[in-house]
Amino acid sequence: MTATVAAPVDLVESLANMRFPETTNARLHWLMDRNTEGLLTPGEREELEGLAELSETMALLRARALYLLGRRPV
């Protein structure tokens, strides 16, 4: 079943523009590099998994918002 929900355009725009803050994005990339090198501690692995999951969720929300706005990712 498909439901239609009205959403303010500014909310959809905010979702379309959602990104990690630069410091968080840099931390994610640093953790990914350490993972590639096999140097992650158990705590860092947990942090990486959490950030990766959050990043995927944000990407899905952002993609849906862009779709609703009729735009392509930049």
Instruction: Report how far apart, in Å, the C-alpha atoms of 18 and of each of 41, 61, 63, 72 are.
Output: 29, 9, 10, 14
The predicted structure's pLDDT at residue 12: 93
52 Cβ neighbours under 8 A, 6+ residues apart: 28
Q: What is the pTM of this model?
A: 0.83
Instruction: Report how far apart, in Å, the C-alpha atoms of 23 and of each of 18, 20, 39, 50, 71 are.
Output: 15, 8, 21, 16, 27
The predicted structure's pLDDT at residue 1: 66
Per-residue pLDDT of the chain (74 residues; tens, 9 = 90+): 677 778 899 999 999 999 999 999 999 999 999 999 999 999 999 999 999 999 999 999 999 999 999 998 87
- For the chain, the domains span 9-69
The predicted structure's pLDDT at residue 65: 95
